[in-house]
Amino acid sequence: MPRLTLAALLAVLFLPGCNNTLNPFCGSARPVPMIGSLTPSSVDFAQVQQGLTLNVKGAQFVAASQVEVNGKPLATSVVSNALLKVTLSAGVISGPGAVSVMVHTPSGGSGDVGCSSGGDSTALTLMVN
């Protein structure tokens, strides 16, 4: 392989923020979680007061992924790479209104230059009536 081509390839692989799927050295990096839906998508506050299980469906969840409700991290059960479960209570949600739900995966698994790891999903809204 000519030096110029090898140099160009190495430059792309090790640029900060490099896409991990293109960098073979980023294999152990944690993916950014993706959130797709909430079940249920709306609840009554009385259900929350009794303790309600919320299913968060998406993709790229790992053992370290954690559901955050209005920015507060909750004890999260990782059922699979596509399903997380948390229990909502009055200690988490204080009353009716729109509640922001997202998934956070902490960085880890790769210290390689140019490898990103973990991150935050987009947020979905849970309506509490």
Q: Which two tokens stand for residue 49?
A: 């007061």
In angstroms, the CA 101 to CA 11 distance is 38
What pLDDT sits at residue 6?
54
In angstroms, the CA 40 to CA 73 distance is 19
pTM of the predicted protein model? 0.76
Architecture of domain 3-128: Sandwich (2.60)
In this prediction, the residues of the chain whose per-residue pLDDT falls under 70 are: 1-28, 109-116
What pLDDT sits at residue 84?
98
Please answer whether residues 105 and 64 qualify as being in contact, where contact means their C-beta atoms are separated by less than 8 angstroms: yes
Q: What angle do CA 51, 54, 56 make, to 5 degrees?
A: 160
Q: What are the residue ranges spanned by the domains of the chain?
A: 3-128
